[in-house]
Amino acid sequence: MELNGKVAIVTGGGGGIGSALARAALDAGAKVLVADLDGDAAAAAIAGVDGDRALAVGADVSDEAALQGMIDRAEAELGPVDAFFANAGVATGAELGAADEWELALDVNLIAHVRAARLLVPRWLERGGGYFVTTGSAAGLLTQIGSAPYAVTKHAAVGFAEWLSVTYGERGVRVSCLCPMGVRTAMVEDGLASDDPAARLAARTVTTAGAVLEPEEVARVTLAAIADERFLILPHPEVLEFYRRKGADYDRWLDGMRRLQRQVDQAP
């Protein structure tokens, strides 16, 4: 899909990858509704863009009524929604996490995607096509040292994106799944500065495993993948090799990840 002339919704668009995706889509000629829990941040992401090309809303993606409202507003003011970037996410829960942390991670990192798909896929099937872009994580293909809620819900997000592609791909619904490692976002920066040792461990693992990319680079790679209609989007190409090693010898991979956790945990 080329985004020129299309209508897109980007959730979690108030900063980081989401903001970069929104700006890249606008630069590509799309009309974009940017949604974020912080409505002011969403508005800042599209500052200077004509109102007939961009909208900003403050919305909680874990609220189905809020998702319905943003889709209805986009279709009323911008046109039928062609692409949905399920980008909003939370990194919550150290180690095993608390019950409320699991509930939040499941709601935002997974169930929000399911709700959005339930609202959009029937419309896309009627119109003959649409594009669902999931922001997963390398943690969804590998794991996340330091946080079970994040690792598990990102695995689930990747699994749901796979299911969407298998089930509706031959009926015009295209799906891509973005799985980066370290990106210079508030989520990573907050983890590095956290008072929680487990949160710092998770952030240090991400920032030491490979290059820390700028959000704009991730957005550029994402739009190129969408143009080619590729499912797996890997801004860090080495993730594919890590994934292959995991599949080739699971026990050896687990042993290597335990060594990595020990090394990061013992680092100054």
Closest CA to 145 of 185, 193, 204: 204
Backbone angles phi, psi at 199, to 5 degrees: -65, -40
**Angle formed by the axes of helices 250-266 and 197-209, to 10°?**
110
Give me the catalytic one of 150, 168, 243, 250. Answer: 150
Backbone angles phi, psi at 114, to 5 degrees: -60, -45
Tell me which residue has tokens 């990595």. 260
Pairing of β 54-58 and β 173-178: unpaired
Pairing of β 54-58 and β 83-86: unpaired
CA distance 154 to 160: 10
Can you give the three-state secondary structure of 225-261, one letter per residue? HHHHCCCEECCCCHHHHHHHHHHHCHHHHHHHHHHHH
Coil, helix or strand for 51?
coil
Active-site residue, 150 included? yes
Other C-beta atoms lying within 10 Å of the C-beta of residue 73: 16
Closest CA to 114 of 178, 163, 174, 160: 160
Q: Residues, the chain, total?
A: 268
CA distance 10 to 32: 7
Coil, helix or strand for 71?
helix
The catalytic residue positions are: 150
